[in-house]
Amino acid sequence: MTQGDERDFDTWSRQARLAVAFLTRLPIGGAGETEPGALARAAWAFPLAGILVGIIGGIVFVIGDRLGLPINAMALLAVAATVLMTRGLHEDGLADTIDGLGGGSDRESALAIMRDSRTGAFGVLALVFSVGLRVAALAALPVPQIGVSALVAAHTVSRGLLPTLMLWLDPARSDGLGAEAGRPSPPGATAAALIGLLVAIVMLGLGRGIVAMLLAAIAMTVLASVARRRIGGYTGDVLGAAQQVGEIVMLLAASL
């Protein structure tokens, strides 16, 4: 391995650790870069964090099956495990986004609501539907092994498509996560999407994997389009909401 190859490997390793450290609560050390734009450079590794979160949820799902728990309890515990592993990061973004888009009368009021730490009725309802749909989709799967595959695919694809949204949209604010994260490069966004597609195909099969990812991409694009029209682009909350939408659609597609 040449010095150049070693530097490239060190850079990719550092970016992967940064992505996992930001998107999960796993104890990943040595992430390094925290300056503006570092997260965008690490965006290609977002789906790697999704793989880890999905595996953890899948392990809980299988343990519940081994213990003989009811399928609904297994599904709820698996979803709870994934929420704990991400500190509820994406769920918080979903609640804030739906509160802002649903309650704001104009761009400024929508952004102000999204920045407010309090959760309103729209946000609470969004969380209820999010958890409910994910649990229902997992409970509809015929065997626990399919649940593991569905969780890994859903968490990977929903994060693998986020860099494309960051590339397509402009930050809605001049400050905050959206502005500080930076804009991923086209190769980085493409790599993240391809990782998501590969995992979806391996986990769900060729046809179901492609269809599920296509449906998730459409749903996330619709949300992004609404955000661009209402607030002029994306924020960290919008990205969290998009991940939730993608995860839900992937799980529903797997349960069909």
How do residues 177-210 score in pLDDT, each as one tens digit? 777 778 899 999 999 999 999 999 999 999 999 9
Tell me the C-alpha to C-alpha distance, in Å, between residue 53 and each of 114, 127, 159, 205: 26, 19, 11, 20
Determine the residue type at 200.
A
**Residues 6+ positions from 246 with CB-CB distance below 8 Å:** 154, 157, 158, 161, 216, 217, 219, 220
The answer, yes or no, to whether residue 144 has pLDDT greater than 90, is: no
- Average pLDDT rounded to a whole number, residues 223-243: 95
β-bridge mates for residue 171, sequence order = 234
d(CA 51, CA 47): 6
β-bridge mates for residue 234, sequence order = 171
The answer, yes or no, to whether residue 9 has pLDDT greater than 80, is: no
pLDDT at 105: 79
- Average pLDDT rounded to a whole number, residues 106-112: 90
pLDDT at 34: 64
- Average pLDDT rounded to a whole number, residues 99-123: 89
Tell me the C-alpha to C-alpha distance, in Å, between residue 91 and each of 33, 191, 240: 25, 25, 7
Q: How would you label 136-145 residue by residue, b for 16+ Cβ within 10 Å and e otherwise? A: ebbbbbeebe
**Token pair of 135 as six digits:** 């649990």
User: Which tens digit of pLDDT belongs to each residue from 19-64?
Assistant: 999 999 887 765 555 677 788 999 999 999 999 999 999 999 999 9
